[in-house]
Structure 1
């Protein structure tokens, strides 16, 4: 089993845990950002972390998972590696006209036992959308899992949630952001466009 310190070390040395001034997917601002793509670009770390995430479900006695599913893009690799560790199949959802949906011929069957995964959870919005897709297909959501839970365990998905890292979600609305008041440029990770005067994430 990996300790919290070992997991943090992996995130830090791959540059997946950044500090600075960031605009999150939710639109809120934060001084910390987990760019899981930086750790997932290393197959051995991706396999190691996702196998550890799957181990949590095996320890819960929930070995009977038919399918693992995550939202594109962040949940695709996590879904694949967790599914491989559990001996399940892997799917992902995508947005079509702004609505989360199954595409590419993916199908869920009524009663199918599904684990929903994500790389980072902050507000849980995307995961809730995936859960809705699963339930609308008549499948059963057995729980949710993430590499990082930025809500510090406070997000309520209506299902059991397990994460490798659970950290405080210090975030602000744009109007209340102290980093903005200090004039520190905000970066929207994953985008070339910066909010404000521009800036560079610090790892």
Structure 2
């Protein structure tokens, strides 16, 4: 799947939004990719997951024992990646602010895990999720994501395979351009920034 085909999927789902958005990372942007919307169609979610699987080298795919994703954003694409890889998929939650496996999910000690996210901007959630898997006695060997918004700067400590890299600028609170600051801010994500 080419970058233009991926963006076409987002546009068709009305999931590529323009305005003033506060991202889950706390940064501001003129664009927002609503992955929950693009993934609401099972056929589209399946296509995107299969395309994402193809970004992961065969030798890495062969090592994966389980797929883990952080809730909420990574939940649907994580499940679809589990289906595409033929592996169990589970998700992490933050009931007290720290990621943990719940609902009877557990990893066998020493399991090799693929972490799956929807969008990576700063990598904070990913790194916290990777730490949670380590606390379970397992190892994240790679991360896959639908979208890399980091401009190639994110360091997760593991190999990173995004379906598409998008370079929409994002701004810290004290860097927001006046024209963007004049637009009312929307917080469409699942986590308070």
Return the offset for 1:62. Answer: 2.8
Backbone CA RMSD of aligned residues = 1.6
Taking a change above 3 Å as real, the CA distance of residues 30 and 60 of structure 1, as seen in their structure-2 partners, is farther
Structure 2: 5+ residue runs without aligned partners? none
Taking a change above 3 Å as real, the CA distance of residues 106 and 182 of structure 1, as seen in their structure-2 partners, is closer
Deviation by residue 1:12-53 (Cα, 9 ceiling, x = unmatched): 111111111101112111111111011011111000001111
Q: Determine which structure has greater relative contact order: mean sequence separation of CA pairs < 8 Å that are 6+ residues apart, divided by chain length.
A: 2
Whether 1:11 aligns to 2:24 is no
Give 3-state SS (helix, strand or coil) of 1:175's partner. Answer: helix
In structure 1, the residue matched to 2:34 is 35
Return the offset for 1:59. Answer: 3.7
Return the offset for 1:4. Answer: 1.3
Return the offset for 1:182. Answer: 5.0
Name segments (4+ residues, structure 1) moved above 6 Å: none
The structure with the largest alpha-carbon Rg is: 1
In structure 2, the residue matched to 1:149 is 148
How many equivalent residue pairs? Answer: 190
Taking a change above 3 Å as real, the CA distance of residues 144 and 115 of structure 1, as seen in their structure-2 partners, is same
Is the Cα–Cα contact under 8 Å of residues 39 and 45 in structure 1 kept in the other structure? yes
- Cα distance in 1, alignment partners of residues 189 and 106 from structure 2: 30
Structure 1: 5+ residue runs without aligned partners? 192-203
Taking a change above 3 Å as real, the CA distance of residues 182 and 61 of structure 1, as seen in their structure-2 partners, is closer
- Cα distance in 1, alignment partners of residues 180 and 136 from structure 2: 46
- Cα distance in 1, alignment partners of residues 60 and 98 from structure 2: 33
Return the offset for 1:180. Answer: 6.1
- Cα distance in 2, alignment partners of residues 123 and 175 from structure 1: 17
Is the Cα–Cα contact under 8 Å of residues 122 and 169 in structure 1 kept in the other structure? no
Return the offset for 1:110. Answer: 1.4
Residues 25-104 of structure 1 mapped to structure 2, 5 A cutoff: 25-104=24-103
Taking a change above 3 Å as real, the CA distance of residues 33 and 96 of structure 1, as seen in their structure-2 partners, is same
Return the offset for 1:101. Answer: 0.8
- Cα distance in 2, alignment partners of residues 21 and 179 from structure 1: 11
- Cα distance in 2, alignment partners of residues 187 and 96 from structure 1: 25
Is the Cα–Cα contact under 8 Å of residues 24 and 189 in structure 2 kept in the other structure? no
Return the offset for 1:175. Answer: 2.4
